[in-house]
Structure 1
């Protein structure tokens, strides 16, 4: 049995630990305490994951306040501990369509490089993602307490590959995140054929050992603000504008560049926000203004 605090600190279910928790909360009278039993469905589990990334009162928000939407403060979306962006750092260009009246992004248009970046986020273990976003400095939510408890309670030894952002062999990693790399494939010994050479399952050429990216080259995609990815066509763009009901006179086009700073900010926005592209645009505008000051 375990005690789990509101900010997701996990400890053994000992009476002394419970007394310390109550005293730290300023509770001296046990009559102030009310007991409730909550049912945890897949929906609550999903909310627990999302709220743990930005909330210090995760259990309260999910089970008592019944919050299912995430409010993200802007300082959370800034990628920490990376140098200021310069033009030579930019790797990928994304064309964005935004509503002029409120500066909200409607969708983006990009080639396979940017979409490879987005889908590469799915290959990064959560612990490695937190390390990339500042390590111990990324303590806005409660998730960091769980990482500490894995060591202190269960004596789990963390592998360096998780902390250093090293992915398994043949996992693609984008050039915008140079701190992530893939392990070299290991040789496999077969008693009849000797040592066998592993081939990248994504590569159309069997002899090639490491292909880059997940998508066919020279492909174009439409990406919505909440990161729904579709094949780009004039029909898909027109249909999206028609669904939103926004007049064409209120639509503006911009082009932004994605380098290491923006890639890390986008990774954090994916974890914390349902409007990731708009959050990225806010960071981009602030950095552009700073460069001219």
Structure 2
């Protein structure tokens, strides 16, 4: 189980509303990574937790249950695998998806923490073409049929990510750059609004928000620290797709 994240909520007890959350880099990276998840992964994650009941989930189940009898010639069930269980490589290669989402999914968690691979048929160089061109086909789904020789593409070809850090980046305890991970800088505290709008936190922005919400009694404000684990992340993901009050829906209701 991945470690839980801490999130500090600022609540107006008089108006019984959440004003904003104070968050660090880890939580903001988690939210931003929602945008990199393939739709098939979103449905699978929420469906496994019985948290989604919309038409797209029925479409997902249709593909998952479809017999190979009805798959067009030249394809097989593996070819449809990427629709219902998309490879995590569909996310940004240099920015893996949040492990909190995959703590209960051993295969996905393993893929998220290991190297990225493409797969080839292993028969490159032996394909014959009249024009002399010998293209190399690759796939991010192991077992896909090679268009040239019809063999299963199972030979690993490791993906090399472009350098994401500079020599001036800060490093953590293991000598790796802390700025090269995730999406935002770690030296900043962020404000996350109820609708998941994110902005850098400052005294001026805090005062401006209190004015915007017409908060007159500072004594009525309450700080509440909540823990964000697998269930909370799944609930946040669901709320982000159907609500403008995601934080309230997950942590106050």
- Measured against the shorter chain, the TM-score band is 0.5 to 0.7
Aligned to 2:160: 198
Paired residue secondary structure (2:100): coil
Q: Does 1:281 align with 2:243?
A: no
Aligned to 1:22: none
Structure 1 residues 143-170: Cα deviation after superposition (integer angstroms, max 9, x where no partner): 2233345576886943258526623422
Q: 1:267 aligns with which of 229, 237, 250?
A: 237
Q: Does 1:216 align with 2:185?
A: yes
In 2 relative to 1, CA 171–159 (structure 1 residues): closer, same or farther, beyond 3 Å?
farther
| Higher share of residues assigned helix | 1
**8 Å CA contact 2:46, 2:52 repeated in 1:** no
Paired residue secondary structure (1:133): helix
* Distance across 2 between alignment mates of 1:233 and 1:133: 35
Q: 1:254 aligns with which of 217, 224, 229?
A: 224
**8 Å CA contact 1:90, 1:257 repeated in 2:** no
Q: Does 1:230 align with 2:199?
A: yes
Scaled by the length of structure 2, the TM-score of the pair is: 0.62
Paired residue secondary structure (1:159): helix
Cα shift at 1:101: 2.8
Cα shift at 1:135: 4.1
* Distance across 2 between alignment mates of 1:89 and 1:197: 26
* Distance across 1 between alignment mates of 2:56 and 2:192: 28
Paired residue secondary structure (2:32): helix
Scaled by the length of structure 1, the TM-score of the pair is: 0.54
**8 Å CA contact 2:88, 2:96 repeated in 1:** no
**8 Å CA contact 2:37, 2:97 repeated in 1:** no
In 2 relative to 1, CA 203–185 (structure 1 residues): closer, same or farther, beyond 3 Å?
farther
Q: Does 1:99 align with 2:12?
A: yes
How many residues get paired? Answer: 189
**8 Å CA contact 1:107, 1:225 repeated in 2:** yes
Cα shift at 1:171: 2.5
Q: Does 1:163 align with 2:85?
A: yes
Answer with 129-138 or 178-187: which moved more.
178-187
* Distance across 2 between alignment mates of 1:118 and 1:129: 13
Cα shift at 1:240: 0.9
Q: How do 1:1-293 and structure 2 match up within 5 A?
A: 90-135=3-48, 137-148=50-61, 157-160=79-82, 163=85, 166-167=88-89, 168=91, 169-177=93-101, 178=103, 179=105, 180=109, 181=112, 184-186=115-117, 198-204=160-166, 211-247=180-216, 248-282=218-252
Paired residue secondary structure (2:35): helix
Structure 1 residues 100-147: Cα deviation after superposition (integer angstroms, max 9, x where no partner): 135321101111110001001111111111111124945522222333
In 2 relative to 1, CA 222–239 (structure 1 residues): closer, same or farther, beyond 3 Å?
same
Unaligned runs of 5+ in 1: 1-87, 188-194, 284-293
CA-atom RMSD in angstroms: 3.6
